[in-house]
A and B are shown apart, each in its own frame.
Chain A
Amino acid sequence: MKYLLMIYDNPDTRELFFSDEGRSLMAEMDALMNELRLSGELVSTEALADPPNTKTVRVQNGVPVVTDGPLAEAKEHFGGYLVVDCESIERATEIAVRWPSARYCPLEVRPIMDTGGADG
């Protein structure tokens, strides 16, 4: 079963992780990613650029409306993700608990929709 681990950031955590002080946290993150790669659980992972680089896209009455910046000003923003393929949501949650940024900002763990289904 695949799960998406949504990593949230706020301006402070973003700054911390990219500072010298954040190096050990980054190293911890790399080690965990490597561990997941070796266990065959990591499907993909990406970090996102900072929120000001966002374009928000809407189509209103067939007309595209593109604005600069994120959908809403929020204290926390979506900062990156991991897709893992593992035994259970408990295991996926365990991975999220070990993700270093969880000490500063929450992660969300959500199952990815399966395209198959049972008939009985």
Chain B
Amino acid sequence: MRSEAEVERLLRELAPRVLGTLARQHDRFDACEDAVQEALLAAATRWPTEGVPEHPHAWLIGVARRRLIDEVRSERARRRREETVARLHASDPSSVPGPDEDRPAEHDDTLTLLFLCCHPVLTPASQLALALRAVGGLTTAQIAHAFLVPEATMAQRISRAKQTIRASGISFEMPPEAQRADRMRVVLHVLYLVFNEGYTATSGPHLQRTELADEAIRMTYLVHGLIPSDGEVAGLLALMLLTNARRAARTALDGSLVLLADQDRGLWDRAAIDEGLALISRTLARGPLGPYQLQAAIAAVHAEAPRAEETDWREIVALYELLERIAPSPVFTVNHAVAVAMVRGPAAGLELLASTDADDRLARHHYLEAVRARLLEMAGDAAAARHAYRLAARRATSLPERRYLESKAARLSTPTPALGGRQAAANPTRDTWPDR
């Protein structure tokens, strides 16, 4: 007899393989996905009490296929009523799964499934939700909890995504070789977003959301296992492992945010760091380089420093220079500016930061202002730093980040009024914000 938790783990491993097998054979992704969900539900109720069948994969395929056939039959009946010609590729209703169907599905199936869930016709929100359900094997309720939206909202998002796939006539096959690289970028981005959603969540009341980080790591392991030669998949996995290793150190007991430089490195997960370090060094040695590998390499430099003061910032500057060359992004420039400030002093960092001022993508974003504040503080300009921290705090749309920025501003406070000039004039009512 297995516990419910063990059964759930097993089912989540089997889910993408069962769906992959079915979708390859029937090419009706939306109907297959519904059928597999029903089979998983049946297994989740029955296996903990009745025991896990000898061939769990075949059992699930069998149940899912029967549901699929029921669905196809009722659809046929409806179509007959409508006097339309129905030509459906239903498999033989009497077929039972053979023992060979218990072997793991073709590896490509899971990958094809992930490519399908991350198809560019879908919005990123739909890609995330569908991947978590079809590949991660999570229920709609679990995904809804994790993203803090009602279950009905998430159910609709998933069903809309499946309709879109159906309406677009997308078939269950690997993207053509010429599109493979672009499509892979989308898949990796979706996995990265799932990870980030979980990692940035604070612990406590939102525990279910933090599990998304583990789920993203699990799915990335899966993809890495399928295509170990892909450097960017390995790079993303290493980045996730090295970042997630900091999880216990990133929040204080009161739930407030602890930034990398101030974290108690004794709380970092050494095993995860060792694994991430080994993975990224193996991968970098093999080439070619990509943005996830470089971000992982930067995370590795941080992970290798026993104390924040011992961080090899020169190495980080070099890595950001490379990163900006192959994947220019204003966010990387802002991070690069911090590293430059650590090596050549705050003035050099501020100068680099100023180059992003004209970038619309960062305009009014709190992160740019938060980094400016940090560099101004380094430069000893307390008044300007305080002003920038306050400005960043007001732009923040995250509670922990806002609290952190406000506390930095408060620590730099002098008895004179904190605000003056342009911002205060533009928002006179907000002068009293911290006291409200």
A interface residue numbers (CB < 8 A to B): 1-2, 37-44, 85-87, 111-120
B377-403 CB mask vs A (1 if < 8 Å, else 0) is: 000000000000000000001111110
Q: How far is the CB of B246 from chain A (nearest CB, A)?
A: 7
- A43 and B399 contacting across the interface, CB-CB below 8 Å: no
Which 10 A/B pairs are nearest by Cβ-Cβ distance? Answer: A40-B157, A117-B400, A116-B200, A117-B401, A120-B260, A116-B201, A119-B250, A40-B156, A114-B398, A111-B397
B144-168 CB mask vs A (1 if < 8 Å, else 0) is: 0001111011111110100000000
Residues 190 to 241 of chain B near chain A (Cβ within 8 Å): 197, 200-202, 205-206, 209
- B397 and A1 contacting across the interface, CB-CB below 8 Å: yes
- Residue in A closest to B157 when the chains form the complex, CB atoms: A40
Q: Which residues of A contact B123 (CB under 8 A)?
A: 87
Q: Which residues of A contact B206 (CB under 8 A)?
A: 115-116
Q: Which residues of A contact B259 (CB under 8 A)?
A: 119-120
Q: Which residues of A contact B200 (CB under 8 A)?
A: 114, 116-118
Q: Which residues of B contact A117 (CB under 8 A)?
A: 200, 202, 257, 398-401, 404
Q: How far is the CB of A39 from chain B (nearest CB, A)?
A: 6
- B400 and A116 contacting across the interface, CB-CB below 8 Å: yes
Number of A-B contacts (CB under 8 A): 82
> Given the interface contacts A40-B153, A40-B154, does A119 sit within 8 Å of B399 by beta carbon?
no
Of A85, A112, A115, A118, the residue contacting B153 (CB under 8 A) is A85
Residues 123 to 155 of chain B near chain A (Cβ within 8 Å): 123-126, 129, 147-150, 152-155
B304-324 CB mask vs A (1 if < 8 Å, else 0) is: 000000000000000000000
> Given the interface contacts A40-B157, A87-B123, A87-B124, does A115 sit within 8 Å of B399 by beta carbon?
yes
Check: B258 CB closer than 8 A to any chain A CB: yes
Q: Which residues of A contact B160 (CB under 8 A)?
A: 38-40
Check: B263 CB closer than 8 A to any chain A CB: yes
Q: Which residues of A contact B153 (CB under 8 A)?
A: 37, 40-43, 85
Q: A115-B202, A120-B260 are in contact. List 17 more A-B contacts (CB 8 A).
A: A1-B397, A2-B148, A37-B152, A37-B153, A39-B160, A40-B153, A40-B156, A40-B157, A41-B153, A41-B157, A85-B153, A115-B399, A116-B206, A116-B209, A117-B202, A117-B401, A119-B259
Please report the C-alpha to C-alpha distance between residue A111 and residue B402 in the assembled complex, in whole angstroms. 13
B255-288 CB mask vs A (1 if < 8 Å, else 0) is: 0011110010000000000000000000000000
25 A-B pairs within 8 Å (CB atoms) are namely A2-B148, A37-B153, A39-B156, A40-B153, A40-B154, A40-B156, A43-B153, A85-B153, A87-B123, A111-B397, A112-B397, A113-B397, A113-B402, A114-B399, A115-B201, A115-B206, A115-B398, A115-B400, A116-B201, A116-B206, A117-B257, A118-B398, A118-B401, A119-B259, A120-B259
B interface residue numbers (CB < 8 A to A): 123-126, 129, 147-150, 152-158, 160, 197, 200-202, 205-206, 209, 246, 250, 257-260, 263, 302, 397-402, 404
Please report the C-alpha to C-alpha distance between residue A116 and residue B208 in the assembled complex, in whole angstroms. 13
Interface centre among A43, A85, A87 (most CB of B within 10 A): A85
Q: How far is the CB of A116 from chain B (nearest CB, A)?
A: 4
Please report the C-alpha to C-alpha distance between residue A41 and residue B161 in the assembled complex, in whole angstroms. 12
Of B201, B205, B246, B398, the residue contacting A113 (CB under 8 A) is B398
Please report the C-alpha to C-alpha distance between residue A40 and residue B159 in the assembled complex, in whole angstroms. 9
Q: Which residues of A contact B398 (CB under 8 A)?
A: 113-118
Q: Which residues of B contact A114 (CB under 8 A)?
A: 200, 397-399
Q: How far is the CB of B153 from chain A (nearest CB, A)?
A: 6
> Given the interface contacts A42-B153, A114-B397, does A85 sit within 8 Å of B147 by beta carbon?
yes
Please report the C-alpha to C-alpha distance between residue A41 and residue B126 in the assembled complex, in whole angstroms. 10
Q: Which residues of B contact A115 (CB under 8 A)?
A: 201-202, 205-206, 398-400
Please report the C-alpha to C-alpha distance between residue A4 and residue B206 in the assembled complex, in whole angstroms. 21
Q: Which residues of B contact A2 (CB under 8 A)?
A: 148-149
- Residue in B closest to A1 when the chains form the complex, CB atoms: B397
Please report the C-alpha to C-alpha distance between residue A118 and residue B392 in the assembled complex, in whole angstroms. 14
Q: How far is the CB of B215 from chain A (nearest CB, A)?
A: 15
Q: Which residues of B contact A39 (CB under 8 A)?
A: 156-157, 160
Q: Which residues of A contact B152 (CB under 8 A)?
A: 37
Q: Which residues of B contact A40 (CB under 8 A)?
A: 125-126, 129, 153-158, 160
Q: Which residues of A contact B246 (CB under 8 A)?
A: 119
Q: Which residues of B contact A116 (CB under 8 A)?
A: 197, 200-202, 206, 209, 398, 400
- A37 and B397 contacting across the interface, CB-CB below 8 Å: no
- Residue in B closest to A83 when the chains form the complex, CB atoms: B149
Q: How far is the CB of A1 from chain B (nearest CB, A)?
A: 7
Q: Which residues of B contact A118 (CB under 8 A)?
A: 200, 398, 401
- A119 and B257 contacting across the interface, CB-CB below 8 Å: yes
- A37 and B156 contacting across the interface, CB-CB below 8 Å: yes
Please report the C-alpha to C-alpha distance between residue A111 and residue B202 in the assembled complex, in whole angstroms. 19
Please report the C-alpha to C-alpha distance between residue A44 and residue B144 in the assembled complex, in whole angstroms. 14
